[in-house]
């Protein structure tokens, strides 16, 4: 059947009303086909279609119809926290039907029992993978899973986790959503689902090659060509689009390139709504979680209707930039490719400024991006409701490569999805997670492993190796039960190779008063954050460390780079917990506020994990040091402030200010309420005193 109006849907009138309240009066061809193929009857389905084709609404209709027919619970899974927050906000509409919507991400050492009261839960693949290890009753009862962005299976880092989650989820009712892939039939067969595949887009996409040679020529796949004036193709094309009332997303291969391009675009005299631009710029100055230099740089750009966007920026800055673009105040964003996957920001035109990216493991340090990455970026072209068509152009430097690039990216399908479990680190972690589940046994684990998408012959070779490795390294007993150490490692959700490094180092090392050896060890694990190390830093890092590390400096060049990257992370976190000013840290290590927060969050988790591993191994002196270090990392404080920052509302700056004024513990705040108010201000001081009372009273 071909559904034209939402009124024709075989759903409760309240569901129809939610759709109408959103302005949805009819379904598009993708959504109609999903209905035809049995979505509302709970049919298992793999839906592949371009970005912006309405897959989220299909998932909502599938989940809501399941729940209204008596289903126990639905879980919607995304690869990124930003997407999780976005979907959670969207799904809140369904609470008018009495459907309770919950969300969870992060904090991997928890089973989140509070989620038992929710009907629809939004989470990330990592969090869901960790939850399965804890085995909460609410998750075991869940009977409908939506796996969003399934093409992340091809991602080297997240792919094994996506596949691991799919192995468990496909034993229940499942709806998998993906960008178009070339082996959809094989993936659908693996999931035991029906394939719904379409290339329909709400806004047609015109793709082309922009040749930035002596003459700037733009050639589209439909045969039309355009010659632009000027010497810089990106600037010329951007100016043309904005003059015609459009917005532009420019993707560059690195942060530096994105920032440099933004400054060049800002030199154009773009037509802006001055009052709205000035208002947005004034709000930028109020963002609290950003460094002064990056705020000042962005302030000047936003006044010109331009901004750059990458993971180095703080969340506050990224949120403000995205809001400005959605409201069409900012006309141009230059970004790294991560924006293409993480945020729903359509534009009239998308410019892919580079088809190469940096990879230091490849000779020459350059590799071409995948077709899937190109499709993700180009898929942002075309704003529904604003544009009759979108344009995506790839910039090339000469005519010789134009034909090859067009053939590879515009006229070819994306790469097939492949299993990323085919390496020891990913496969052994997968095994450990399966053994951690309730009711696990050798037989059950073997059966589940063979349900992965990994080639059967590869699986067989890794399986016995994995069992042996987990036993040899004391994660498993000889009768295939988790040891105390293995159980703890599975629960805290670190890679078993990370746990082995921590175990080997701590059992062979004396405890140290300095925090650098511990931070360096944790950053050296597979779960550790990575920092770019410049040539100058390579020479300087070893000499600025205040104390030696547990690990010797390697001779191998690649291993040395990893060693120095970990050392840089250790020094950053050392400065952080010594209460060095944030601006000083950002400048000293050439990182952004977003980088610092990401490093702190990861090292907060790893110091906690290190503490738990040491405790499980009964290494008491190491455990005590790591526990204290973990308490310091999140807020970035010296040990003397640990008691004071237990009070909500007191962080590193307020804590230090109070401490310098003789208020060193929560009890002092209660005994000196007027002094607290004079230091922090009347309103904030009163709030902090109330929180201190709760802490002292044992509520917190």
236/355 same-domain check: yes
117 DSSP 8-state letter: G
Contact 348, 248 (CB under 8 A): yes
Percent of the chain beyond pLDDT 90? Answer: 83
Residue 432 covered by a domain: yes
Mean pLDDT on 154-178: 96
Q: ∠697-698-699 over CA atoms, to 5°? A: 95
- pTM for the structure as a whole: 0.93
pLDDT band (50, 70, 90) for residue 340: confident
**Angle, in degrees to the nearest 10, between helices 424-436 and 456-472:** 70
Instruction: Report if residue 600 sits inside a domain.
Output: yes
Question: What pLDDT, in 10s, does the model give residues 515-527?
Answer: 999 999 999 999 9
Q: Which pLDDT belongs to residue 521?
A: 97
Three-state DSSP class for 696?
helix
Contact 637, 646 (CB under 8 A): no
Judged on CB neighbours under 10 Å (0-12, 13-18, 19+), 555 is: exposed
Residues 169 and 219 in one domain: no
Q: Which residues are annotated as a binding site for ATP?
A: 31
User: What is the reported pLDDT for 556?
Assistant: 87
CATH number at residue 134: 3.40.50.300
> Is 561 within the bounds of a domain?
yes
Whether the predicted pLDDT of 1 surpasses 50? no
Q: Distance from first CA to last CA of the chain, Å, rounded?
A: 58
Whether residues 509 and 613 share a domain: the answer is: yes
Task: Using the predicted structure, report yes or no on whether residue 190 has a pLDDT greater than 60.
Answer: yes
Same domain, 461 and 586: no
> Helix 496-507 vs helix 593-616: angle between axes, to the nearest 10 degrees?
60
User: Cα(144)–Cα(409) distance, rounded to whole angstroms?
Assistant: 35
Give me the residues paired with residue 23 across strands: none
Instruction: Count the neighbouring beta carbons within 10 Å of the beta carbon of residue 534.
Output: 11
When pLDDT is cut at 50, 70 and 90, the band that residue 477 belongs to is very high
* Residue 27, in any domain of the structure: yes
Together in a domain, 251 and 329: yes
- pLDDT category at 363 given cuts 50, 70, 90 is very low
Q: Phi, psi at residue 646, to the nearest 5°?
A: -65, -20
Band (pLDDT 50/70/90 cuts) for residue 243 is very high
651 assigned to some structural domain? yes
Please tell me which residue, 677 or 365, carries the higher pLDDT value: 677
Residues 6 or more apart in contact with residue 689 via CB below 8 angstroms: 669, 670, 673, 676, 677
Assess whether 518 and 585 both reside in one domain. Answer: yes
Place of tokens 């849907």: 9
Residue span of the structural domain in which 307 resides = 205-410
Look at 330-344, 388-402, 571-585, 666-680 and tell me which has the smallest mean pLDDT. 330-344
Q: How confident is the model at residue 2 (pLDDT cuts 50, 70, 90)?
A: low
Confidence of residue 82 (pLDDT cuts 50, 70, 90): confident
pLDDT (tens digit per residue) in 293-317? 999 999 999 999 999 999 999 999 9
- Residue 26 CA, chain-centre distance (Å), reads 33
Q: In the chain, pLDDT over 70 holds for what percent of residues?
A: 98
Rounded CA-CA distance 678/685 in Å is 8
Q: What is the pLDDT of residue 338?
A: 82
* pLDDT at position 558: 83
Select from 493, 510, 541 the last residue of a domain.
493
Domain tally, the chain: 5
Q: Do 120 and 126 form a contact (C-beta atoms < 8 A)?
A: no
658 and 556 share one domain = no
At residue 395, the pLDDT reads 96
* CATH number of the domain that residue 565 is part of: 1.10.3380.30
Lowest mean pLDDT among 113-117, 145-149, 249-253, 364-368: 364-368
Q: Is residue 55 part of a domain?
A: yes
Q: Does a structural domain hold residue 421?
A: no
The number of C-alpha atoms within 13 Å of 165 and in the hemisphere containing its C-beta is: 31
CA-based nearest residue to 217, from 411, 403, 383: 403
Per-residue pLDDT tens digits for 440-460: 999 999 999 999 999 999 999
Question: What pLDDT sits at residue 136?
Answer: 94
- Residue 182 sits in the same domain as residue 160: yes
Residue-averaged pLDDT of the chain: 93
Q: Which of 145, 179, 197 is the last residue of a domain?
A: 197
CATH of the domain at 680: 1.10.150.20
Known binding residues are 31
What is the C-alpha separation between 263 and 297, in angstroms, rounded? 9
In whole angstroms, give the CA distance from residue 621 to residue 615.
9
User: Do 118 and 21 sit in the same domain of this protein?
Assistant: yes
399 or 164, higher pLDDT: 164
Asked if residue 466 belongs to a domain, the reply is: yes
pLDDT at 41 > cutoff 60: yes
CATH number, domain containing residue 481: 1.10.10.10
Kindly tell me the burial class for residue 6, based on how many C-beta atoms sit within 10 Å of its own C-beta (0-12, 13-18, 19 or more): buried
Whether residue 356 is found in the same domain as residue 393: yes
The helix/strand/coil state of 548 is: coil
**Contact 73/141 with Cβ under 8 angstroms?**
yes
- The pLDDT of 238-250, averaged and rounded, is 96
- Mean pLDDT over 87-111 rounds to 93
Domain's final residue, options 378, 410, 442: 410
Q: What was the pLDDT predicted at 343?
A: 75
pLDDT of residue 214: 81
Token look-up 């511990």 returns 518
> 255 with 335, same domain?
yes
Q: Is the dihedral of CA 465, 469, 471, 476 positive or negative?
A: negative
Mean pLDDT over residues 567-582, rounded?
A: 96
Q: Are residues 614 and 504 in the same domain?
A: yes
């Amino acid at each position: 059947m071909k559904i034209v109006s939402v009124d024709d849907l075989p759903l409760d009138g309240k569901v129809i009303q939610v759709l109408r309240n959103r302005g949805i009066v009819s379904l598009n061809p993708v959504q109609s086909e999903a209905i035809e193929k049995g979505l509302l009857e709970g049919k298992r389905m793999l839906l592949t279609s371009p970005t912006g084709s309405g897959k989220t609404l299909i998932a909502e209709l599938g989940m809501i119809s399941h729940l209204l027919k008596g289903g126990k619970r639905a879980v919607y899974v995304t690869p990124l926290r930003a997407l999780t927050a976005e979907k959670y906000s969207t799904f809140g509409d369904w609470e008018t039907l009495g459907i309770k919507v919950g969300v969870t991400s992060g904090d991997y050492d928890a089973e989140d029992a509070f989620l038992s009261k929710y009907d629809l839960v939004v989470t990330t693949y990592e969090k869901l993978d960790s939850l399965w290890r804890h085995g909460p009753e609410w998750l075991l009862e869940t009977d409908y899973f939506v796996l969003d962005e399934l093409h992340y299976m091809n991602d080297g880092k997240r792919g094994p986790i996506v596949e691991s989650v799919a192995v468990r989820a496909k034993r229940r009712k499942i709806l998998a959503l993906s960008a178009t892939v070339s082996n959809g039939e094989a993936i659908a067969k693996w999931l035991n689902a029906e394939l719904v595949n379409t290339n329909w887009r709400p806004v047609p996409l015109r793709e082309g090659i922009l040749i930035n040679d002596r003459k700037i020529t733009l050639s589209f796949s439909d045969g039309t060509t355009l010659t632009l004036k000027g010497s810089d193709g990106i600037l010329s094309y951007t100016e043309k689009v904005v003059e015609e009332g459009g917005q532009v997303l420019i993707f560059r291969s690195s942060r530096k390139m994105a920032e440099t391009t933004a400054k060049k675009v800002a030199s154009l005299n773009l037509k802006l709504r001055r009052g709205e631009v000035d208002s947005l710029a004034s709000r930028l100055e109020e963002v609290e979680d950003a460094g002064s230099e990056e705020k000042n740089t962005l302030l000047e750009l936003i006044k010109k209707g331009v901004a750059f966007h990458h993971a180095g920026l703080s969340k506050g800055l990224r949120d403000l930039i995205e809001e400005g673009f959605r409201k069409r105040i900012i006309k141009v964003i230059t970004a790294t490719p991560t924006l293409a996957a993480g945020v729903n920001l359509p534009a009239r035109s998308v410019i892919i400024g580079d088809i190469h990216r940096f990879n230091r493991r490849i000779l020459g340090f350059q590799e071409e991006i995948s077709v899937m990455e190109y499709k993700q970026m180009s898929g942002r072209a075309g704003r529904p409701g604003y544009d009759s068509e979108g344009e995506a152009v790839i910039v090339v430097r000469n005519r010789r490569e134009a034909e090859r690039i067009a053939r590879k990216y515009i006229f070819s399908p994306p790469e097939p999805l492949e299993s990323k479990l085919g390496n020891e680190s990913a496969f052994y972690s997968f095994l450990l997670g399966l053994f951690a589940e309730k009711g696990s046994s050798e037989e059950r684990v073997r059966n589940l492993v063979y349900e992965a998408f990994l080639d059967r012959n590869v699986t067989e070779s890794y399986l016995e190796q994995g069992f042996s490795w987990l036993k040899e390294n004391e994660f498993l007993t000889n009768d295939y039960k988790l040891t105390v150490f293995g159980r703890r490692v599975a629960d805290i959700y670190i890679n078993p190779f990370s746990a082995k490094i921590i175990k080997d180092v701590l059992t062979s090392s004396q405890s140290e008063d300095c925090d650098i050896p511990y931070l360096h060890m944790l950053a050296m694990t597979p779960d550790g954050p990575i920092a770019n190390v410049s040539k100058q830093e390579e020479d300087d890092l070893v000499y600025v460390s205040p104390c030696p590390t547990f690990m010797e400096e390697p001779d191998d060049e690649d291993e040395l780079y990893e060693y120095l990257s970990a050392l840089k992370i250790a020094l950053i976190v050392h400065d952080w917990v010594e209460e060095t000013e944030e601006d000083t840290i950002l400048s000293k290590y050439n990182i952004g506020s977003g980088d610092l927060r990401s490093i702190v969050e990861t090292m907060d988790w790893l110091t906690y994990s290190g503490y738990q591993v040491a405790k499980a191994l009964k290494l008491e002196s190491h455990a005590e040091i790591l526990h204290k270090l973990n308490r310091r990392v999140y807020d970035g404080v010296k040990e003397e402030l640990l008691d004071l920052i237990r009070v909500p509302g007191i962080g590193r700056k307020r804590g230090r200010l109070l401490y310098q004024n003789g208020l060193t513990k929560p009890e002092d705040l209660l005994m000196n309420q007027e002094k607290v108010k004079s230091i922090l201000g009347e309103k904030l001081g009163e709030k902090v005193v109330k929180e201190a009372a709760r802490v002292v009273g044992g509520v917190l």
